[in-house]
Chain A
Amino acid sequence: MKVGIVCPYDWSAPGGVQVHVRDLAVALQRLGHEVSVLAPCDDDIDLPPYVVSAGGAVTLSYNGSKAKVAFGPVTTRRVRKWIRKGEFDVLHVHEPLSPSVSILSCWAARGPVVATWHSSMQRSRALAAMYPLAQTALEKVSARIAVSEAARQTLVEHMGGDAVLIPNGVDCSAFGGVDPLPGWPGEGHSLLFLGRIDEPRKGLQVLLEALPAIAERHPEVRLLVAGPGEVDEFRHALPAEVAARVEFLGLVSEEVKARAFVSADVYVAPNTGGESFGIVLLEAMASGTPVLASDIEAFRRVVDGGRAGATFVNEDPADLARVAVALLDDAEERARLGREGLLRAEEFDWETVAKRVVEVYDAVTVTGEKVSEDFRGQLVGRLSRFDRDERGE
């Protein structure tokens, strides 16, 4: 199948949507589909062969955060040309309402259009004002996907209608099957934390507070901490008996991260909130490491209500210590959670996720109609066609 994917944000800037589009494009190509990605980016940078530039992007603030987007007549022409030349079987637009190439391609195309919503939005006057405009773009969309429950809720509440929930993927093949870090997991038991050390929402303070209680039962217990932050400052602020049990790795590479996951008996995710999904949790599960997570909504969903991972009461160090001790006591339960976690992670493997997305493509392409340029009802579209005919393109 020939798939055209539209990414609204600058390809070279870091961001969740860009990573998602890249991973999806790669996974689809592995499944044997032909993929072209249209994204704003400067023309002179090195792009993967499947990415087409929609022109340079400008930084604007939208929906509460800064985004690098592209719009205007030049971009519109590039979008139309890409759709015309692409002859796609299906057009997959990400964040269709972002004021960038996404909404432009919704207007410029007809035929099978799939849209994926990533972020959740607050009800705002701006959103209410753009509602009629958004509606004309949404009418073009044959199938809607949301990557998280929060994104789906936004859609249901603000725009009406529903969306299929297809979560972010994780590349399972990148985890497991590596050697632990030297000196780990060691003789006694070991725990792992991953994330910014000075970000309260990541919850390291909850875990550190629980550590003495865990050590009462397991005197040898050690904690491996991987994540950026002021390590020295942080270590000095800790009580001596806690600091002696903790090793800080600082910011780690993807490779070291994969090794860290297999260096511990239990991966602990004490995040206190603000997680919409929990990709790190899945990465730990893909490594075969049993996970212990706070019982926030997103995590409970990932561990399937406790079947594929243990949970403790959010922000409660005593409960964390209780469950952690029970897990460290019970090697059989750890092995079981490791196995269940691995199975669960495979449900979120990019290959599985991409197959789900292809099912959606199949559902909207049954009639065999291809994506084509839409001129109907659009004065601008008619003028641009006239313009092109004049130039004999």
Chain B
Amino acid sequence: MDWLTEILIAAVVLGAVVVYLSSMAGRLDRLHHRIETTHAALDAQLLRRGAAVQDLASSGFLDPASSLLLSAASQETLVVDPDDDARRFLVESELTRTIGAVLDTREDVEEIQAEAGPDVGVADQLLSELAVACRRVELARRFHNDVVRSALQLRRKRVVRWFRLAGYTSMPTTADFDDTPPAGLAGR
């Protein structure tokens, strides 16, 4: 084998490695970008749910104790530091549990409708908005965690660690909190 062939082979191998590494970096970059968008989406849906709970709590269709509980729990989620994920997910879990306790069965919901009397249309709308908002939180959290898991899987690979393909992006974390929609609103 003369030196020209050797150089050629080396160049081809090097080229293949570069293409592989760049495609890996591309995949990672795409995932990191998606994590940012899914995190923003989760933020938006949590805010929406908080607002829907506030609306229901201040509607006057609920008994005072339920109103107060809901209102207090949703206030907590509004004042919490949005960058402190651990604390934040804790209060969101609390809100989920409060909603679940207030709207536990279909009878709970029927009672609210009865209390609304002639305004039952308004009550129905508030309840439906809350049901949709709860489901969207559930979706947004799941989609976020799916991407995070994909990214973590890729970042565990040796080639990614050795060549620092992830750059300076911090390790993504999953959003872990209770987001079970209330049983009383199932089917809305």
Contacts and interface: CB of A to CB of B under 8 A. Distances in A.
A160 B153 contact: yes
A377 B23 contact: yes
B159 interface: no
A139 B150 contact: yes
B131 to A, nearest CB: 10
B146 A376 contact: no
A359 B149 contact: no
Interface string A225-241: 00000000000000000
A359 B150 contact: no
Given A359-B139, A366-B44, A377-B27, A142 B34 contact: yes
Contacts of B38: 142
B142 interface: yes
B41 A162 contact: no
B142 A164 contact: yes
Interface string A132-145: 00011011111110
Interface string B24-48: 0011001100100110110011000
A139 B27 contact: yes
Interface in B129-188: 132, 135-136, 138-140, 142-143, 145-147, 149-150, 153-154, 186-187
Contacts of B30: 110, 139-140, 376
Size bracket, chain B contacts = 20 to 34
A355 to B, nearest CB: 9
A286 to B, nearest CB: 14
A364 B150 contact: no
A346 B139 CA distance: 22
B26 to A, nearest CB: 4
A378 B145 CA distance: 26
A393 to B, nearest CB: 25
A111 to B, nearest CB: 10
B41 A363 contact: yes
A253 interface: no
A377 B139 contact: no
Given A162-B142, A359-B132, A367 B26 contact: no
Interface string B6-35: 000000000000010011001100110010
Mostly, the A contact residues are mixed
A216 interface: no
A369 interface: yes
A362 B139 CA distance: 10
A129 interface: no
B22 A363 contact: no
Nearest to B187: A347
B150 A161 contact: yes
A359 B181 CA distance: 14
A360 interface: yes
A379 B143 contact: no
Contacts of A142: 34, 38, 143, 147
Contacts of A141: 146
Interface in A300-359: 343, 346-347, 352, 356, 359
B139 A164 contact: yes
B172 to A, nearest CB: 14
B122 to A, nearest CB: 21
A376 B142 contact: no
Nearest to B186: A347
A66 B119 CA distance: 56
Interface in A357-393: 359-360, 362-364, 366-367, 369, 376-379
B44 to A, nearest CB: 6
A143 B153 CA distance: 18
Contact of B41 (A140, A356, A364, A378): A364
A377 B22 CA distance: 7
Nearest to B135: A359
Nearest to B38: A142
A139 B31 contact: yes
A367 B139 contact: no
Nearest to B20: A377
A343 B186 CA distance: 12
A372 B153 CA distance: 26
Nearest to A143: B143
Given A135-B150, A367-B40, A376-B26, 8 more contacts: A136-B27, A138-B150, A139-B150, A143-B139, A162-B142, A347-B186, A362-B136, A363-B41
Closest 8 CB pairs of A and B: A377-B26, A377-B23, A363-B139, A366-B41, A347-B187, A161-B146, A376-B26, A367-B37
25 contacts: A135-B150, A135-B153, A139-B150, A139-B154, A160-B149, A161-B146, A161-B149, A162-B142, A162-B146, A164-B142, A343-B187, A347-B187, A352-B187, A359-B135, A359-B136, A363-B45, A363-B140, A364-B143, A366-B40, A367-B40, A369-B37, A376-B30, A377-B22, A377-B23, A377-B27
